[in-house]
Amino acid sequence: MTRYRYHLPQLDGAPFLTDGGLETDLIFNEGLELPLFAAVDAIRHAEGVRALEAYYRRYLDIAERHGFGFVLESPTWRASSDWGEKLGYRGGLMNQLNEQAIELLVRLRDERSGSSALVVSGQIGPRGDGYDPGRRMTVEEAADYHGRQISVLAGTDADQVTAQTMNYVAEAAGVAEAAAANGMPCVISFTVETDGRLPTGQTLRAAIEAVDAVAPPAYFMINCAHPTHFEDALEADEAWTRRIGGMRGNASKMSHAELDESETLDDGDPQEFGADCGRIRGAHRHINVIGGCCGTDHRHVAEVAQRVSRLVA
């Protein structure tokens, strides 16, 4: 049964953690093969399920130690219909895997008896490449496309849906519109280049205001960019900035193009990452959901928790 769909506890302002770079961690640190970078494929075999359970438990332990809430993001970033076709899934398998992904997170949530809120989120990724908008959909096309996955997630115990690595406005707005139509709270997370702008060149402010004009999500996030890439783009005390409730930075300071060309994992400096996130959280207290993205793991999020704890104390 969904716990928080009708009131997301992270909206009350207390600190929440979320996980790190799921796909990069499983591939480079755990040695799993994820075809097309699709972590949802791990659910198809026992070894993958065990790896996912161990992965999430490491982060839940960190949140528990610090008394923070936690947003459990499902491994469904590449679990929409186009990706299912590319993966060779047939006969409704992708829908089943979306459902099983949420069931896995609910089991992990129910293991915990602490008082902190554990929010189950159905993760949605871009239809195309996360770094390159490529062929762009209209808002209506995006709502139709992503609405198929959202409708499946709405039938589960997920509390919300989170669209991550969104790189142009129409797709993000379509997701938000489809979520509203399915009665699901929605979080929209944009990715940015090293200049703090979307890959389209649009500013974060323009992107956030444009999505809000179509279908306002519960809040916005920024992900898949190093914290220093977007820190200076955040304008203190501006209405659009206060709509940003979370961030999931990359470990690496490399650009998206450089990351695409790299054959090794750049896990950066976990302590520096924690300091960067803590500094941004200190300047913008409305950003209260913090985790990592590509190249990060539990070490980075543990450093974030330490920094945020000092701000709370």
d(CA 35, CA 97) in angstroms, rounded, equals: 15
Asked if 9 and 69 count as a contact pair (C-beta separation under 8 A), the reply is: yes
Q: Checking DSSP bridges between strand 219-223 and strand 244-249, what pairing results, if any?
A: parallel
Residue 246 pLDDT > 80:
yes
pLDDT, the chain, mean: 96
- Residue in the block written with tokens 């200190």: 282
- Give per-residue pLDDT as tens, 44-69: 999 999 999 999 999 999 999 999 99
Decide: pTM greater than 0.95. Answer: yes
Residue 114 pLDDT > 80:
no
- Give per-residue pLDDT as tens, 1-31: 899 999 999 999 999 999 999 999 999 999 9
Extract the tokens encoding 159. Answer: 């509390």
Residue 115 pLDDT > 90:
no
d(CA 239, CA 65) in angstroms, rounded, equals: 33
Q: Checking DSSP bridges between strand 219-223 and strand 16-18, what pairing results, if any?
A: unpaired
Q: Which residue type, as a one-letter code, is found at position 63?
A: A
pLDDT value for 213: 98
